[in-house]
Structure 1
Amino acid sequence: MSKKKKRTHMPVRLNILFFVVFLLFSALILRLGVVQIVQGEEYQRKLERTVNVIAKNEAPRGVMFDRFGHRVVENKLVLMVTYTNANVSNEEKLRVAERLNELIDVDTSKVTERDMKDYWIITNREEANNLVTRDEMRELENDAMDIYRLQLDRITEEHLNELTEKDIEIIAIKREFDRGFAHTPQRVTEVTYEEAARVLEHLSEMPGIDIIRDSERNYVYGSSFRQFFGGVGSIPRDSIDFYLSRGYYRSDQVGISQLEQQYEDVLRGDKEVLEHVLDGSGRLIDQPIETPGQRGKDLILTVDMELQQHVEKIVYDEIQRLKSMNGFLGVPAAYAVIIEPYTGEILAMSGFRENSQTNNLSSFEIGNIYNAFEMGSAVKGATVLAGFQEGVAQPGTVFNDRTINIGGQRMSSVSTMGRINDLTALERSSNVYMAEIAMALGGTYNHAQGRWSGNIPIGYEIMRYNFNQFGLGVKTGIDLPSEATGFNGGIPNTIGNLLYFSIGQFDTYTPLQMAQYTATIANGGYRISPRLVREIREPSTIEGELGNVVKQFAPNVLNRIDMKDDYIKRVQEGFRLVVHGSRGTARVLSNNSYKVAGKTGTSQLFFVRDANDNVIRDRSGNAIRGNNQIFVGYAPYDNPEVAFAVIVPDLRIDNSGRMGRPANNISGSILDVYFSLKSERNGPRTSNNNHSNDIDNGE
């Protein structure tokens, strides 16, 4: 009987169990259906969601070589601390910055007041919150940014004085952390090998910190031509949008001046690319995928670095000689440009100027393209050609060189020459001959009555139009980001200033413009853009060899001057007589075998200024007069290889003759070196100091 009861209860219990299991399975199936059918797509997207973050590390920039293959700008290996921001809090950044500061020396010169205020807010949260009242918060509708701005305004000097030297160092590190993008290495600071070793020992304590091999620019020959190489630095604030649109990061280093800026697209390397694959929560899924970068392309410059160094010494020594004789009224300086007349390739550009703080000479070769001077009689070749072109004179035209008075101005030459033609006018540097041309360009001069009538503005316009053809008063077209064009004196309503214009004492021009003008006469009338880069090459894979040529620059002819060949040859002959004529103003240079042609210039200065731009006056308050001395020329005169312009400004007028003609001295020495280097070369010197112990870098 009892056995029957047991058999009866077993099926009931099993049925209940099966029913419960059935319900559970039904619920599970229903839930799986909802997940798969209703929410399946959403979960699939979450499952498959990954984020690819691309980071790019800068590659070394291209190298610069001189025309003979000497490295002049290269890359020097440095060790750099980097920080990769993984979207951590400010407090975590400060912790890492504090630990890093214990291991390295830090430059705090870039720390700003705003950086210090931000740090104070982060490290003094409660006190910072108390700077803004609750009523003010309500009034600002609890807008975090508005509250933050109000806090910044209310942080006082007393608050900032609480910061220690260690705090400032931490701030300096964190400000570099903040400049980087998420998952992108940001340069923090260069470190020594010893500092790098200490950091590497403690990397595990500083998430995001790493040490990389980086490069910085190294100038092999010190200050020689340094200003034209230019600089590399952070992207200028006003150019940030331009660079960002071209794939740069805000933290990238770019060329910020001169050749580095002009050829940024060439010198910039192809970056190393690191691709980070992250999941939806921002965790790194795998190791970064690395695509190697490549160094930037190389520049072959037109400059002859050995000649450059010699020219620098010549210019430097002449300034020192003049300084020892108290030969300068204004700031001691001198400039020289050497250029190939048929290609426009610049062989050397040197300049020095006294540093008013140290009284030493500073390299200032950049003055050749930015500083402009009255060039005096050196422009008379352009004046004569303007007269020929406009038909107011012809080769062989004779004018009477005597003292003339017109428009309240008195004009005369160094001595009364009487009746002379154009060749003699150039050889002996007649002012009156040029004045006759200028007066004829704008009207008519009645010699008997000493009266002039005509249209003064037309005279200025015609003169400037002709001068512009030679590059005087306009950009030369040099391959640099900018250059000066000199000072245009306008069109005064006086005939006297037009006469001074014709002898180079009204508008001002740069030394480079004068070199281009001279080269245009030397090559038969073609104005060619000056160049500093002759080739672009691929980076070489073999040490000591140059890479393949990517681009070779041909001479860029800007214009052919309007003047006939016969007119140009006539002025060339006049330039030859300046040196080789019996009464030439530069006949001292006829003693060499280089067959020089050229034109001297002495511009009288009525207002000489000191280093503070104040007019120099005598005890009676009268402005002291001085002069600029100039020589432009080319050699050999029958087959020009080289053209040049030399300017020595703000000289004291020397009646004793002891100072000689400094511009002629420099020119003669430059030609000596140029032609001697054609037969024997020793290569440029690698010493940073090519001149004297009292030279400043001038950067």
Structure 2
Amino acid sequence: MSNIPETGRTPRVQIRLIVIQVLVFSLLLTLGGRLWYLQIRNGEEYINEAKNNHVQQVVQPAVRGSILDARGVPLADNQSKLVVSASRTELMKMKDDGKAVLTRLADVLDMTPKDVMDKVRLCDAKTPQPCWNGSPYQPIPVTNKANQQQALQILERAEDFPGITAEPTAVRRYVAPGKANTAQVLGYLSPVTDAEIEKAKHSSSPYLRSDQVGRSGLERTYDKYLRGNAGVTRYEVDNLGRVIGLAKADKAKPGSNVITSIDARVQAVAEYELLDAMKEARKAFDKNTNTNYKADAGAVVVLESKTGRVVAMASNPTYDPNAWVGGISGKDYAKLTGKDSNFPLLNRGIQAQAAPGSIFKVIPTTAAVNAGYDFNGSYPCPSSYSIGGQTFTNYESKGHGNISLGGALEVSCDTVYYALAHQQWQRDGGTKPKKGAKDWFYKTAHQFGLGKETGIDLPNEVAGRVPDRQWKQRFWAANKDAWCKQGKKDGSFVEKIAFENCIDGNQMRAGDSVNYSIGQGDTLVTPIQMASVYAAIANGGTLHAPSVGKAIVSADGKKVDELKPEVSGKLPMNQATHKLIDEALAGVATRGTAAWRFQGWPQDKIPMHAKTGTAEVYGKQTTSWFATYTKDYSIVMTIAQGGTGSGASGPAVRKIYNALYGLDAAGKFDPKKALLPQPQQGLPKIETDGSIDAPPIKPYVPEPKDAEGADALAGPPATTPNRGNGGTRGTNAGTGTNQPVGD
């Protein structure tokens, strides 16, 4: 037995109890503080998170609205297809990141494993197409071409294909009625990105991860109307994922339909005739290069003269927009964007910039009248015009004696415009401009709407260029260092140009002004700009912002919002000047440079007006331009490296008019063959069930080939030697334009 008294243990026991009490109290205090932090200070935040963790969303995509032509014919609509999709979220949970599953899937779909894996990888700056540029949290379409047997294999062997779904889905379809492709006008779709979702989160039209959005053309311009609102059903689930109730359900609202001013029949004619004109131009021999013309790109625009609405717009080379549906393949993407593709995604009607050549002459004609020159005055048209040691020649070095400004338009006399531009350049002070210089020729081009976008309802339109004194200064400042580095006084042609530009490239030279006066030099226009100009002349002087969209109609047809044509300006000419120019352009079609293309045309019933243009581009073959109008339509066609205006583009434009008005090659009317003798009035009817009573489209039957043969394609005469140099000034190396040629 211990002799230690019992009372000796008490202090130690008491100390231990106190320590335990302090420890318990500290733990309780810590727990209480944590509970206060979670339940009071941040309680609302965690409550909301807990709610979200127990709500699952099921998205029902909205049916995208259709894009219709002016008569209700679908240009783009939807069709149900079996779509096989992969959940990247589920695949990433697997040890091999889903490679085994995707390999098995490739075998079922008759695809290569690489193609399938490329489809589900995410796009970034280093990853080439094909890849997924949408949200990584939504199902990624692998193919929309699966058949029922393939879908059944996937569904019946679900354990072999975790994260893979196969179900009927409404997918976009680009119909091409009557072979009217309309690719660049319609555009295409691709998945929404996370950045776009975040940007539009607080807008009036937010995105869901399942959305497809327009990337170009009408699909982009009218995306918020076409897209509709997806249906979202929210289910309450427990922590095991079991549904315990319905939280909220929003029904899907289908997108609205966009009715356009495009006529699919005319569009088919325009596309066919543009391509055929390019093929025929390639048969013609270019004496300047001793090769056939390349005719590697072109565009044609058909506008309603009184409204500026687009009846047809064709661009070549072209492509099938269905290639983008369900995700584009690597092979197709390379075809559309590769070095040798010549960029078919470009809408050359609004994005191709080129010197306009002589179709530009209506502008300096107007400028000369506004500067005080008499339209009916007498102006010499010699075979050439000299400025110092530099000679500028007329087309084929032909002279026409003394003629009026109207006569200069009819025969496309360059030297008349050279002299007028040179005189105005001198009056404005030449290379040392006077304060308040009039600059009539440049000012008038701006008043005609050039040098800026027309405002057409298609994305990515380019502005072209009016090379006035202000532009010269900006361009020189941006390129001076490069010119000075490249330039050599006694070097090659390009090096000489660079040398001269380095020294005084900001000055408006005499050669710049005379080149500009006939649509050469640094001047750049687009087909839509020139079609708008000629439509304005046709209607008496009103410039419109061209438009493709005509109305937005709800899916049930009950709500119709018409899109009215917008006036963008007035041509700077009075009625007297307008009448004289109108008569001169009629003379071009009856006795001038375009007369040989309008033989037999019923001028007394449908007055035709035209202007031919042939622009020379440094290092390339000549660009063909043909601008025309009637009281109803304005048609402009251009073919790059295609030869002369009347030679390459002229026959195709005539055939488009023949189809519109129901004329044969001899000018005889057949009303039954007339596609659109007058612009379409009214809108097609959309029923409450969404159906449209669209008329059928008969295939376009082209006219028999002309008997003239390929030698006539480049015009009479087919080509012209390079005209007028006597020095390098007046040409331009910066933009690749050289001395002018005629028509």
Instruction: Tell me whether the two structures share a fold, i.e. TM-score over 0.5.
Output: yes
State the alpha-carbon separation in 2 of the partners of residues 432 and 99 from structure 1. Answer: 70
Question: 1:72 corresponds to which letter in structure 2?
Answer: L
Q: CA deviation at 1:189?
A: 5.0
Tell me if the contact between 2:609 and 2:629 (Cα under 8 Å) persists in the aligned partners: yes
**Structure 2 residue aligned with 1:253, among 212, 224, 236?**
212
Secondary structure, in 3 states, of the residue corresponding to 1:385? helix
1:180–1:427 Cα change, 3 Å: closer
Contact 1:456 1:494 in 2 (8 A): no
Q: Work out whether residues 593 and 646 of structure 2, in 8 Å CA contact, stay in contact via their aligned partners in 1.
A: no
626, 629, 634: which one pairs with 2:629?
634
3-state SS, counterpart of residue 338 of structure 1: strand
* 1:598 aligned residue (588, 603, 610): 610
Contact 1:231 1:255 (C-alpha < 8 Å) held by counterparts = yes
> Where does residue 388 of structure 1 map in the other structure?
369
Q: 5 Å matches for 1:470-485?
A: 470-485=448-463
1:562 aligned residue: 572
Counterpart CA distance in 2 for 1:322 and 1:178 is 43
Q: 1:342 to 1:286 in 2, by over 3 A?
A: same
Secondary structure of 2:80's aligned partner: strand
CA distance in structure 2 between the partners assigned to 1:56 and 1:690 by the alignment:
52
CA distance in structure 2 between the aligned counterparts of 1:495 and 1:373, rounded to whole angstroms: 22
Q: Which residue number in structure 2 is paired with residue 231 of structure 1? A: 188
Shift of 1:488: 4.9
- The one-letter code matched in structure 2 to 1:628 is T
What CA RMSD, in Å, does the superposition of the two structures yield over aligned residues? 4.4
Would you say the 8 A contact 1:83–1:177 is kept in 2? no
CA distance in 1, matches of 2:345, 2:39: 68
CA contact (8 A) 1:236 1:256 kept: no
2:649 paired residue number: 663
Structure 2 distance, partners of 1:571, 1:278, is 76
Contact (CA 8 Å) 1:401, 1:418: kept in 2 or not? Answer: yes
2:696 & 2:582 partners in 1: Cα distance?
34
Mapped to 2, the partners of 1:245 and 1:383 lie a distance apart of: 50
The Cα shift of 1:454 comes to: 6.8
Q: 1:239 to 1:189 in 2, by over 3 A?
A: same
Within 2, Cα distance between the matches of 1:89 and 1:177? 17
1:344–1:555 contact (8 Å) kept in structure 2: yes
Cα distance change, pair 76–435 in 1 and its aligned pair in 2 (3 A)? same
Is 1:501 matched up with 2:501? no
Does 1:434 pair with 2:450? Answer: no
Q: Does 1:411 align with 2:392?
A: yes
Structure 1: which amino acid aligns with 2:659?
Answer: V
* Aligned match of 1:213: 168
TM-score normalized with structure 1 length: 0.69
Secondary structure class of the residue paired with 2:243:
coil
What's the offset of the Cα at 1:275? 0.5
Q: Is 1:589 aligned to 2:588, yes or no?
A: no
CA spacing shift, 1:525–1:408, aligned 2, 3 Å: farther
Alignment correspondent of 1:345:
309
Counterpart amino acid of 1:476? T
Secondary structure in structure 1 of the residue aligned to 2:244: coil
- After TM superposition, the structure 1 stretch with the greater mean CA deviation from structure 2, 547-556 or 77-86, is 77-86
Query: Do the aligned partners of 1:351 and 1:364 also contact (CA within 8 Å) in 2?
Result: no
SS of corresponding position for 2:265: helix
- For residues 605-639 of structure 1, give each alpha carbon's deviation from its aligned partner in whole angstroms, at most 9, with x where no partner exists: 4421xxxxxxxxxxxxxxxxx4222211111xxxx
Q: Which stretch of structure 1 is more off in the superposition, 82-91 or 62-71?
A: 82-91
Say whether 1:397 aligns with 2:367: no
Distance 1:456 1:668, change over 3 A: farther
**1:516-559 deviations in Å (ceiling 9; x for gaps):** 1111111111110111111111114xxxxxx2352111111011
Q: Is the 8 A contact 2:134 2:191 kept in 1?
A: no
1:443–1:456: 8 Å Cα contact kept in structure 2? no
**TM-superposition CA deviations, 1:304-336 (whole Å, max 9, x none):** 111111222222222222223345444533322
Is the partner of 2:616 in helix, strand or coil? strand
More displaced, 511-520 or 469-478? Answer: 469-478
2:537 aligned to 488, 510, 521, which one? 521
Distance 1:424 1:317, change over 3 A: same
Which range moved further: 436-445 or 311-320? 436-445
Mapped contact 1:315–1:350 kept (Cα < 8 A): yes
Cα 1:409–1:215 change in 2 (3 A) is: farther
Report what 1:192 is aligned to.
147
CA distance in 1, matches of 2:134, 2:430: 72
Q: Do structure 1's residue 578 and structure 2's residue 556 form an aligned pair? A: no
User: How far is the alpha carbon of 1:434 from its aligned partner?
Assistant: 1.6
**Residues in 1 aligned to 2:583 and 2:347: alpha-carbon distance in whole angstroms:** 32
Tell me the distance in 2 between the aligned counterparts of 1:348 and 1:462.
Answer: 34
Distance in 1 (alpha carbons) for counterparts of 2:243 and 2:100: 23
Aligned pairs for 1:323-402 (under 5 A) are 323-326=282-285, 328-353=292-317, 366-389=347-370, 391-402=371-382
* Alignment match, 2:426: 443
**Are positions 1:539 and 2:555 aligned together?**
yes
Q: Distance in 1 between matches of 2:302 and 2:550?
A: 16
Amino acid at match of 1:675: Y
TM-superposition CA deviations, 1:484-508 (whole Å, max 9, x none)? 2224544343111111101011212
**Deviation of the 1:267 alpha carbon:** 0.7
CA contact (8 A) 2:612 2:646 kept: no
Distance in 1 between the 2:532 and 2:102 partners? 59
Task: State the partner residue of 1:90.
Answer: 93
CA 1:470–1:452: 2 relative to 1, 3 Å: closer
Cα shift at 1:196: 2.0
1:300 equivalent among 239, 259, 262: 259
Compared CA separation, residues 434 and 91, structure 1 to 2 (3 A): same
Q: Distance in 1 between matches of 2:119 and 2:600?
A: 65
The AA in structure 1 aligned to 2:374 is Q
Cα drift, residue 339 of structure 1:
0.6
**Aligned pairs, number:** 557
8 A contact 1:309–1:690 mirrored in 2: no
Distance in structure 2 (CA, Å) of the matches to 1:523 and 1:320: 34
Residue 387 of structure 1: how far off its partner (Å): 1.7
Cα distance in 1 for partners of 2:365, 2:171 equals: 52
Structure 2 match to 1:120: none
Q: Would you say the 8 A contact 2:452–2:465 is kept in 1?
A: no
* Superposition deviation, residue 664 in structure 1: 1.7
Residue 15 (structure 1) aligns with:
none
Query: What SS does the aligned partner of 2:622 have?
Result: strand
Q: Which moved more, 1:506-515 or 1:427-436?
A: 427-436
Gaps of 5+ in 1: 1-34, 117-171, 446-450, 541-546, 609-625, 654-658, 692-699
Q: Distance in 2 between matches of 1:186 and 1:64?
A: 25
C-alpha contact (below 8 Å) 1:336/1:646 kept by paired residues: yes
- Distance, in Å, in 1 between the alignment partners of 2:367 and 2:266 is 35
SS of alignment partner, residue 391 of structure 2:
strand
Q: What amino acid maps onto 1:556 in structure 2?
A: E
Q: Secondary structure at the match of 1:476?
A: coil
Q: Which amino acid aligns with 2:404?
A: N
Does the residue aligned with 2:65 lie in a helix, a strand or coil?
A: coil
In the superposition, relative to structure 1, how do residues 350 and 64 fare at CA in structure 2: closer, same or farther (>3 Å)?
same
1:57·1:185 contact (CA, 8 Å) conserved in 2?
Answer: no
Are positions 1:66 and 2:64 aligned together? Answer: no
**Alignment partner for residue 644 of structure 1, among 635, 653, 668?**
635
Give the gaps of 5 or more residues in structure 2: 1-31, 123-128, 287-291, 319-334, 473-506, 664-670, 676-694, 705-743
Q: Please tell me the residue identity of whatever aligns with 1:284.
A: V
Q: Distance in 1 between matches of 2:76 and 2:201?
A: 26
Does the 8 Å CA contact 1:55/1:185 hold for their aligned counterparts?
no
